[in-house]
Amino acid sequence: MVKWKRIGMDLTFPNVPKYTKDFINDMGQPLNIKIYEPSDDISPQGFLGLGNEFLEHIDNNYNSGFTLHVRRRDKIREPIRVEYIMNDENPTVVDKNIIKVDEDSEVTVIIDYKTISDTKAFHNGITKVYAKENSIVNIIKIQRMNESSFNFDSNVAIVEGRGKVNWISVELGSSISGANYTTFLDGEASEGYLSSIYFGDGNRKMDISYSMIHRGPRSISNIDTKGVLMNEARKVFRGNLDFKKGARRAKGNEEEYVILLDPKVKSDSIPGLFCEEDDVEGNHAASAGQLDKNKLFYLMSRGLSERDAKKLIVEASFRPIIDSIPSDELREEINLEVERRFANV
Amino acid sequence: MERKKTFIDDIDRGIYDIKNEFTYKYKAEKGLTPDIIIEISKEKNEPQWMTDFRLKSLEIYNSKPMPTWGADLSDLNLDEIITYIRPNADMKTRWEDVPEEIKDTFERLGLPQAERESLAGVGAQYDSEVVYHNIRQELVDQGVIYTDMETALRDYEDVIKEYFMKLVPPTDHKFAALHGAVWSGGSFVYVPEGVNVDIPLQSYFRLNAPGAGQFEHTLIIVEKGAFLHFIEGCSAPKYKVNNLHAGCVELYVKENARLRYSTIENWSKNMYNLNTKRCVVDKNGSIEWVSGSFGSRVSMLYPMSILRGEGAKSEFTGITFASKGQYLDTGTKVVHAAPYTTSTVNSKSISKDGGHAFYRGLLKVAPNAHNCKATISCESLMLDNDSKSDTLPIISLDNDNIDIGHEAKIGRISDEAIFYLMSRGISEEEAKAMIVRGFVEPITKELPLEYAVELNNLINIELEGSIG
């Protein structure tokens, strides 16, 4: 059993039945994608994800996943979409995804976790990204499971010289959600970026942790998180910038901005800045509070109701991140989902 | 091209390292047993409730495990620490009456001079007991009490019984329990309603004995509308064996009162400084912490402000300077427990020569504390590549009607800034020293003047002629 004190969670892992749905939607592209088969791929040293219990559970029980190997100088323009859909027949996804991107190549992968019924679904997965020299990897993760589901997601990237990994994380669903993104910036001038939005309403509990581990000289990282909490939602955010010795002239930046809409929300932020190298620049900033009253007043003076004005301000804060999702259809769905949540205000 | 690195020598601690021969009137055995505790209590002629309190604390101490987070305490063997040493001196109110050798120590530290020039009262503790305590007559006339804890326990037993270790109960953590069991010395200050003590009071804690612990207890009560500035200084000469400091500070700031609590801690590098400080602030009261941590081998120190009255305020200004062989884990905790409370945290740290500075903080906003405001700012400067610097501020919010901002920065002295200053005809050394002084300036201006001068000297000594 796993206990998370800060958000108040006791978890016993469920049995993992087979997952039979076809989850890869390759949009008709002739890609070198195959259903995952057991391999000796091991997690990188120092990667803890959401914790050993979760990683072991995946290793022993995975029922789905894929391996994607992008060859050298292969630039795949169209995003690859993977959907893990959960319903009454397939309530449990334990996935292990491996994305290997060779030198000078580029790829975008959208991984979407969603429920299409009221079933109490469970997801525990890992996504590993190996970005070789001079490659560009964009990973978009969308989590919109229903409010009785549990979601646990560990993500790790190892970035070589001049490689670049962009994570976009959209956290909208589940009653309990744990998400970890760890990026090892190993190569010289490697880059890691993470933009995320989270929306907590009802009794949702979220534990979000992001780590940028700078090992390569002149590596660059940026974490940009926007969140909203309402009703009785609880979240803990941990963002770490970790400069290891040797990461000369590395730069890291981290920002979290959370809007609190109700008196009963609970919001914990633990931004960490760890440094063993003097020649670096690291910044982090966090802010939390209600909506800007002046903005709200202005919008209401223009005839918007309080609810609509609040919605508009929240949407404005989410918009730059949602707009970077390379799919009209998905953007539209996410915008509608945010709108729907506000309907209950 | 290999860029030039700043090289900085270890501080010559000069006067702080002059040690006296270890003499004493009474010394407890090493380690901790109920017998030793009863012995200490008897030696101090304490009332039975205090003896019982000490024994209860010892039980709690034994039941708690060593903390596993933060500093590595495995080298600290509590069975080797002498918990109580009565020096060869009784408490005096005139410096002339203090034994020559002990007086000389405090003379070197500049305490009697500071008392003549800029302080309204002084307390001086040597090992486990206070050897000197004095306060200006005009403050006594206004009802201000400033005395050592032993005297306070005798003369104001009811007050002590009401407040002693109520804010930091022995159950708080292992070293609070240890403190409850073996506490000795420290100062008691009582400022009556409306009294404005405009000249600071200062207590100085000097640990001379090798392998010993100092466990002084400071209790300050500032009544409604009153004001006090209290300065705490600490130092010890360096020994090869570990010394331990586990003091406890409890501050009560009543309605509309204001307390400024300044600490300059310059323990030697064989000291484990595991100190607990806590303040509770009533309606519209305010606490201002000014904290400088320069010495010790290991420090774990997080002064805590509990803002329990509406409109209460806290301000924390801290600087930590971690050098060779030092692990300084410092920060502050603020609990907003009432509406309209405000807090400001401004922390700076410098690490060099393999030193490790760690800012660890907590900001907590209770569900009922609406309309509160808090800002936290942490800045770290690393002067070389062997050092480490970490920042971990925890922010925990339980309601929405608040305004919280947090910022942290880490970096080195920028080459551009040095280049600019040098282009203006300033030497490289002076340019670096200037930048470091500029970095700590917001803190130094909060320090009492003599300490500000001392800190600037410290930086100059550290940077002088050693850059290249």
Three-state DSSP string of chain B:
CCCCCECCCCCCCHHHHCCCCCCCCEECCECCCHHHHHHHHHHCCCCHHHHHHHHHHHHHHHHCCCCCCCCCCCCCCHHHCECCEECCCCCECCHHHCCHHHHHHHHHCCHHHHHHHHCCEEEEEECCEEEEEEECHHHHHCCCEEEEHHHHHHHCHHHHHHHCCCCCCCCCCHHHHHHHHHCCCCEEEEECCCCECCCCEEEEEECCCCCEEECCEEEEEECCCCEEEEEEEEECCCCCCCEEECCEEEEEECCCCEEEEEEEEECCCCEEECCEEEEEECCCCEEEEEEEECCCCEEEECCEEEECCCCCEEEEEEEEEECCCCEEEECCEEEECCCCCEEEEEEEEEECCCCEEEEEEEEEECCCCCCEEEEEEEEEEECCCCCEEEEEEEEEECCCCEEEEEEEEEECCCHHHHHHHHHCCCCHHHHHHHHHHHHHHHHHCCCCHHHHHHHHHHHHHHHCCCEC
Task: Say if residue B467's pLDDT is above 50.
Answer: no
The gap from C-alpha A38 to its chain's centroid, in whole angstroms, comes to 25
Q: Do A264 and B394 lie within an 8 Å CB cutoff?
A: no
pLDDT (mean) for B437-456: 76
A-chain CB neighbours of B408 within 8 Å are: 271, 273, 282-285
d(CA A163, CA A102): 10
Residues 6+ apart with CB under 8 A from A281: A250, A251, A252, B410, B411
Query: Could you say which of B388, B394, B401 has the minimum Cβ distance to residue A263?
Result: B401
- What is the model's pLDDT at position B75? 86
- What is the model's pLDDT at position B12? 54
A-chain CB neighbours of B393 within 8 Å are: 270-271
Among chain A residues, CA nearest to B391: A273
- What is the model's pLDDT at position B9? 41
Domain that holds residue B467: 414-468
CB B239 within 8 A of CB B271: no
ipTM of the prediction? 0.85
Q: How confident is the model at residue B23 (pLDDT cuts 50, 70, 90)?
A: confident
Is the pLDDT higher at B443 or at B182? B182
Give me the percent of chain A exceeding a pLDDT of 90.
63
A-chain CB neighbours of B388 within 8 Å are: 274-276
Task: Say if residue A26's pLDDT is above 60.
Answer: no
Among chain A residues, CA nearest to B407: A285
Among chain A residues, CA nearest to B370: A263
Q: How confident is the model at residue A345 (pLDDT cuts 50, 70, 90)?
A: low
Q: Do A260 and B399 lie within an 8 Å CB cutoff?
A: yes
Q: How many residues does chain B have?
A: 468
A-chain CB neighbours of B412 within 8 Å are: 278-280
Task: Say if residue B465's pLDDT is above 60.
Answer: no
Residues 6+ apart with CB under 8 A from A175: A147, A148, A149, A150, A202, A203, A204, A205
Q: Do A281 and B395 lie within an 8 Å CB cutoff?
A: no
pLDDT (mean) for A63-86: 87
Task: Say if residue A257's pLDDT is above 60.
Answer: yes
Is the pLDDT higher at A32 or at B31? B31
Residue type, A8: G
pLDDT (mean) for B351-364: 93
- What is the model's pLDDT at position B2? 43
Query: Could you say which of B378, B387, B399 has the minimum Cβ distance to residue A278?
Result: B387
Q: Which of B282, B301, B320 is the last residue of a domain?
A: B301
- What is the model's pLDDT at position B165? 96
Task: Say if residue A83's pLDDT is above 80.
Answer: yes
Among chain B residues, CA nearest to A276: B388
Residues of A in CB contact (< 8 Å) with B are 229, 243, 245, 260-290
Domain boundaries, chain A: 2-291
The alpha-carbon gap from B387 to the nearest alpha carbon of chain A, in Å, equals: 6
Q: Which of B301, B328, B347 is the last residue of a domain?
A: B301
Task: Please state the domain count of chain B.
Answer: 2
Task: Assign residue B163 a region (left: φ > 0; alpha: ψ between -120 and 50; beta: otherwise).
Answer: alpha
In 3D, which of A46, A68, A44, A48 has the Cα closest to residue A56?
A48
Window from A18-27, B1-10, B403-412 with minimum mean pLDDT: B1-10
Q: Do A280 and B412 lie within an 8 Å CB cutoff?
A: yes
As given in the structure block, the two tokens for residue B245 are 């400091």
pLDDT (mean) for B138-149: 94
Task: Say if residue B166's pLDDT is above 90.
Answer: yes
d(CA B119, CA B192): 19
Task: Say if residue A29's pLDDT is above 60.
Answer: no
Q: Do B410 and A288 lie within an 8 Å CB cutoff?
A: no
The alpha-carbon gap from A313 to the nearest alpha carbon of chain B, in Å, equals: 16
- What is the model's pLDDT at position A218? 97
Across chain A, mean pLDDT equals 89
CB B216 within 8 A of CB B173: no
DSSP-assigned states of every residue in A46-106: T--TT-HHHHHHHHHH--B-EEEEEPTT-B--SPEEEEEEE-SS--EE-BEEEEEE-TT-E
A-chain CB neighbours of B369 within 8 Å are: none
Query: Best interface-test mutation with A: which of B397, B401, B432, B435 has the largest number of A CBs within 10 A?
Result: B397
Query: Could you say which of A262, A274, A285 has the minimum Cβ distance to residue B406?
Result: A285
- What is the model's pLDDT at position A40? 57
Among chain A residues, CA nearest to B415: A279
Task: Assign residue B68 a region (left: φ > 0; alpha: ψ between -120 and 50; beta: otherwise).
Answer: alpha
Query: Could you say which of A271, A274, A280 has the minimum Cβ distance to residue B411?
Result: A280
- Return residues 373-432 of B near A (CB < 8 Å): 378, 380, 382-385, 387-412
The answer to the question of residue B362 being in a domain is: no
Q: Which of B301, B334, B365 is the last residue of a domain?
A: B301
Window from A21-35, A251-265, B68-82, B282-296 with minimum mean pLDDT: A21-35
Task: Say if residue B1's pLDDT is above 60.
Answer: no
d(CA B250, CA B255): 17
- What is the model's pLDDT at position A31? 54
Kindly state the helix (H) or strand (E) to which residue A310 belongs, with its residue range. Answer: helix A306-323
The answer to the question of residue B9 being in a domain is: no
Residue B455: count other Cβ atoms within 10 Å of its Cβ.
20
Q: Do B395 and A266 lie within an 8 Å CB cutoff?
A: no
- What is the model's pLDDT at position B334? 97
The alpha-carbon gap from A152 to the nearest alpha carbon of chain B, in Å, equals: 23
d(CA B356, CA A61): 42
pLDDT (mean) for A146-161: 96
d(CA B322, CA A178): 36
- What is the model's pLDDT at position B459? 67
B-chain CB neighbours of A271 within 8 Å are: 391-393, 395, 406, 408
Query: Could you say which of A264, A278, A287 has the minimum Cβ distance to residue B406?
Result: A287
Among chain B residues, CA nearest to A239: B392
pLDDT (mean) for B375-379: 92
Task: Say if residue A34's pLDDT is above 60.
Answer: no
Q: Are strands B85-86 and B121-126 parallel, antiparallel or unpaired?
A: unpaired
The alpha-carbon gap from B362 to the nearest alpha carbon of chain A, in Å, equals: 9
Instruction: Please tell me whether residues B48 and B193 are part of one structural domain.
Output: yes
Q: How confident is the model at residue B6 (pLDDT cuts 50, 70, 90)?
A: very low
d(CA B149, CA B246): 16
Q: Give tens-digit pLDDT for B167-212.
A: 999 999 999 999 999 999 999 999 999 999 989 999 988 888 888 8
Residue type, A253: N
The alpha-carbon gap from A250 to the nearest alpha carbon of chain B, in Å, equals: 10
The answer to the question of residue B326 being in a domain is: no
- What is the model's pLDDT at position A35? 46
pLDDT (mean) for B437-464: 72
Q: Give tens-digit pLDDT for B116-132.
A: 888 888 888 988 888 89
Residue B135: count other Cβ atoms within 10 Å of its Cβ.
20
Is the pLDDT higher at B204 or at A343? B204
B-chain CB neighbours of A272 within 8 Å are: 390-392
Is the pLDDT higher at B17 or at B407? B407
Across chain B, mean pLDDT equals 88
A-chain CB neighbours of B399 within 8 Å are: 260, 263-265
Task: Say if residue B19's pLDDT is above 80.
Answer: no
The answer to the question of residue B25 being in a domain is: yes
Q: How confident is the model at residue A24 (pLDDT cuts 50, 70, 90)?
A: low
DSSP A154: E
Query: Best interface-test mutation with B: which of A214, A260, A273, A277 has the largest number of B CBs within 10 A?
Result: A273
Instruction: Please tell me whether residues B293 and B420 are part of one structural domain.
Output: no
Q: Which residue has the tokens 């580029």?
A: A106
- What is the model's pLDDT at position A23? 61
d(CA B144, CA B87): 28
- What is the model's pLDDT at position A21? 66
- What is the model's pLDDT at position B214? 92
The alpha-carbon gap from A209 to the nearest alpha carbon of chain B, in Å, equals: 14
Query: Could you say which of B382, B388, B397 has the minimum Cβ distance to residue A267?
Result: B397
How distant, in Å, are the alpha carbons of A43, A48, A58, A328 from that of A52?
A: 11, 6, 10, 37
C-alpha dihedral (B71, B75, B78, B82), degrees to nearest 10: -110
Q: Do B391 and A273 lie within an 8 Å CB cutoff?
A: yes
Please, what is the Cα angle at B299 between A267 and B246, to 5 degrees?
105
A-chain CB neighbours of B400 within 8 Å are: 229, 260-263, 265, 289-290
Highest-confidence segment of A23-37, A65-79, B177-191: B177-191
Residue type, A165: V
Residues 6+ apart with CB under 8 A from A148: A118, A119, A120, A121, A175
d(CA B468, CA B466): 7
The answer to the question of residue B385 being in a domain is: no
How distant, in Å, are the alpha carbons of A22, A186, A194, A291 from that of A107?
A: 22, 20, 16, 37
In 3D, which of B255, B271, B118, B259 has the Cα closest to residue B205?
B271
Q: Give tens-digit pLDDT for A172-229.
A: 989 999 999 999 999 999 999 999 999 999 999 999 999 999 999 999 999 999 999 9
